[in-house]
Amino acid sequence: MADAALRRTVGLPTAAWLESPVPASRFILRGAAAARAAAGQGFGLPLPETACRAATDGNRAALWLGPDEQLLLAPDGEVDSIEAALARALQGHAHSLVDVSHRQVGIGIHGPHAEWLLEAQCPLPLNLRAFPVGMCTRTVFGKAEVVLWRPAEQVFRLEVWRSFATYVVELLREIERESAA
């Protein structure tokens, strides 16, 4: 288990459209269909089988990152209980489960200009038709690799490596400043 100090909240500047990152439990799960089905039972949420889609239930989410890869998100402090539940559920299934809670942070961007702010440095079209609610994918924002997820119409969440969080937020703020000028 990663040292709790590495899970500390990243101090970032504030903005009306920015949701400050909060610590969370994060796992990367890799495995075939049977392992994913078992993991869904252990995680308490059926994992998505549709490409680039997220499944949510309350405060847990599972994001499809590839044919055999899922990002599992849950509130901070649940790492041990999730690991235990998944170990029981995945017994006998070939899989890989890695706690990446220390590696990355979630940054929320919300409001009527969220789509526009992200499109300034993301190569994907983010309108509702091209990137509907519930969609998620790996992409880049500027020069940082991110997982981009749209949980609601005017809400996006970026999962970004901790070391790139300040860069991503400062780039977003620069886009905002330039648009105001």
At 178 the pLDDT is: 85
Say if CB 18 and CB 37 are below 8 A apart.
Answer: no
pLDDT for 171 beyond 50: yes
pTM of the model: 0.90
Is 22 domain-assigned? yes
DSSP 48-77: P-STTBEEEETTEEEEEEETTEEEEEEETT
At residue 21, the pLDDT reads 74
CATH code (residue 95): 3.30.1360.120
At residue 2, the pLDDT reads 47
The confidence score (pLDDT) of residue 30 equals: 98
Asked whether the beta carbons of 42 and 34 are under 8 A apart, the reply is no
Instruction: Give tens-digit pLDDT for 7-54.
Output: 455 555 667 888 877 789 999 999 999 999 999 999 999 999 999 999
Answer yes or no: is 7 within a domain. no
Q: Report CA torsion sign: 140, 157, 33, 103.
A: positive
| In the predicted structure, residue 138 carries a pLDDT above the cut 70 | yes
Question: Where do we find the tokens 């459209």?
Answer: 17
Residue 3, in any domain of the structure: no
Domain count, the chain: 1
Say what the pLDDT of residue 126 is.
97
Q: Please give the residue range of the domain that contains residue 124.
A: 15-180
Assess if residue 6 is contained within a domain: no
Reply yes or no on whether the pLDDT at 5 is more than 50. no
pLDDT at residue number 1: 43
In a domain? residue 124: yes
CB 2 within 8 A of CB 99: yes
Question: Which tens digit of pLDDT belongs to each residue from 72-126?
Answer: 999 999 999 999 999 999 999 999 999 999 999 999 999 999 999 999 999 999 9
